Structure 1
Amino acid sequence: MSTRTHLGTEMHLEGRQWRLDALDSGQQAAVEKAAKAAAPIRRGEPVDITTPTYAPLMSALSKDGRATAIDIADQVGLPASTVRRQLGRLLKAGALAMRCELSQLHTRWPVSVIWWCRVPKPLLLSVVARMRAEPRVRMCMSMTGPANFVVFAWTAGLTDLMQLQGVLEDLLPPGALIDSSVTLRTRKRAGWLLRPDGRLDTDSPQPAQ
């Protein structure tokens, strides 16, 4: 048994940007407009999350991403008002991001696939643009190694998977799609154990984050 490490160099699309496709484009635009009007966010100064100020907050959130400021304050021994202010700074700096996960098996895309590709530099922008426009793609990233580009997608089944693979192959030179991995059941997501139906397994002890 062996392992290989790939270092990500640029994230082009990631899970929190993915949409379930339950809303049409007009509804999505209305929600985004309302969110910006209610709480416009201007990017703040970068924050070092390893400092004693922020590391305890990040540790608490890694165990429960839905913890309130009061919950976190009880754990770190600070006033809730201080925690709220620190969380606000983390959000404005982009060190924290909101993300809602769901049980994949309860969507119309129950089968996961990862493709490792070798994308020539002149084609990178066009490949990224096409992957961003594809609703089945949840993540694509440039990385180091023989395969310099990875695509992660949810598909309706193996036929749908092969159709999407054909789309990707049409964008690339012959032989540039190096490898693929199909997942029929996901046992862990974002460090959390899942039940067979894809929901969080609250009855089992979760690993340290």
Structure 2
Amino acid sequence: MTQSVTLDDLDRRLVHALQVDGRAPFSRIAAVLGVPERTLARRYHRLRSALAVRVAGLVDSARIGMADWFVTLDCAPDATETLTSLLAQRDDTSWIAPLAGGGRLVCMVRTPAPGRPAGGPDGGRSFFEQLARTPGVRDVQAGCVLRAVAGVGGWSGRTSALDAAEQERLRTAAEPARSAVGGDGGAGSPSTGDADGAASSPGPGPDPGPTAWTEADARLAGELARDGRADIRHLAEVTGWSASTTRRRISRLRSTGVLHFEVDVDPAHFGAPLEALLWLDVAPGTLPTVTEALAGHAPVAFAAATTGRAAVFAMLQCRDAGALYEYLSRDLGALPGIRGAETALVQRRTKRAGTLLLPERHSSPPKRAS
């Protein structure tokens, strides 16, 4: 992310609006925010070009037979950078973060769900076996995500710029547009603000079933991971469907919970530059109480119940070290059933949600870990 970019109040309102609906046309957002459509389009494309803000399309792993894992790697200090770069280039990784102090990094990995075929040399158990054999890796600890318990729908720290009425107007306005075109209403482009091409002719096209996950869906998801607001015509070319079929498919995947959109933006732009990871050992009987409380804690950007030695894994965003101490000692310390906690500070984020994007001046590291 680019640290030289500063977000003003309108930028933050735009970010919040995109978290409500990542593919909302700029015309709809402009009507709610009370600013010209072209102003919003220019704002977004300027921020996205600077890698400061973007919308990423994300798939619910469990709904397509996959599983997410939070993986902690203990590695030789001189191997950390190479391993980080190698993992960042994989399509099945996200949220990659070397930890402060050196020698450790954490990432999220997607594999076929336990009990399903690996589906290739990089899938399932073979991925972890391959990772353990990678030069410089000393230890691998993996926890499978059982359920996301906090931060679903976006971190509250960046979703406070719009009031409840404005958010409801964004959601309500989306329904007629979706009904009229059979799709999601469109993602804005600089010129028209309607990348889904509502004026395009319907045209016939194959329409996959509501739950089947096809190769075309995977191509669609890959493009949306790179750019959640990609033009509908481009997405149609990638999938081989007509524009109207592509629009309907996006709408169906969203309505069934398979696909959602997340605004990828550095929390430092919202006054929370310090990121920490938290592993909690929680008594099983108090797990519902603890996770429900975490969902209401402002510093918790994301949390999930997982397998492994820690029952809960969480990502925290704080103003500084003092604020982190206050949260751990006061809010977290007041929860019942927490038998132990481990924290680690994030040195930096190499990859967040969606596909890795690099400024043009950066060279691309190798594609795969070996």
Give the 3 Å change call, closer, same or farther, for CA 173–20 of structure 1 in structure 2.
closer
Distance 2:222 2:348 in 1: 28
Compute the displacement of 1:156 (Å). 0.6
1:168 equivalent to 2:304? Answer no
Matches within 5 A, 1:110-121: 110-121=273-284
Distance 1:125 1:66 in 2: 36
Q: Which one has the bigger strand percentage?
A: 2
Give the 3 Å change call, closer, same or farther, for CA 52–201 of structure 1 in structure 2.
closer
Distance 2:365 2:231 in 1: 20
* Structure 2: gaps spanning 5 or more residues: 1-137, 179-208
Deviations 1:19-77 (A, max 9, x none): 235736xx431123213322359xxx96243x234222112223332212111112233
- 1:14 pairs, out of 144, 151, 175, with 151
Moved more, 106-115 or 28-37: 28-37
Moved more, 134-143 or 163-172: 163-172
Distance 2:346 2:245 in 1: 43
Deviations 1:5-25 (A, max 9, x none): 11111111135332235736x
Determine helix, strand or coil for the equivalent of 2:278.
strand
Distance 2:217 2:337 in 1: 46
Distance 2:241 2:339 in 1: 56
Provide the residue aligned with 1:101 in structure 2. 264
Distance 1:88 1:207 in 2: 35
Contact 1:113 1:152 in 2 (8 A): yes
Give the 3 Å change call, closer, same or farther, for CA 161–202 of structure 1 in structure 2.
same
Amino acid at match of 1:36: R
Distance 1:206 1:89 in 2: 36
Distance 1:206 1:90 in 2: 33
Provide the residue aligned with 2:251 in structure 1. 88
Determine helix, strand or coil for the equivalent of 2:164.
helix
Give the TM-score normalised by structure 2: 0.48
Provide the residue aligned with 2:319 in structure 1. 156
> Pairwise CA RMSD of aligned residues?
2.7
Moved more, 159-168 or 27-36: 27-36
Amino acid at match of 2:359: T
Q: Percent identity?
A: 24
Distance 1:141 1:63 in 2: 24
Aligned pairs, how many? 196
Deviations 1:129-163 (A, max 9, x none): 22111111111111111211112110111111111
Determine helix, strand or coil for the equivalent of 1:34.
helix
Distance 1:83 1:34 in 2: 26
Provide the residue aligned with 2:163 in structure 1. 28
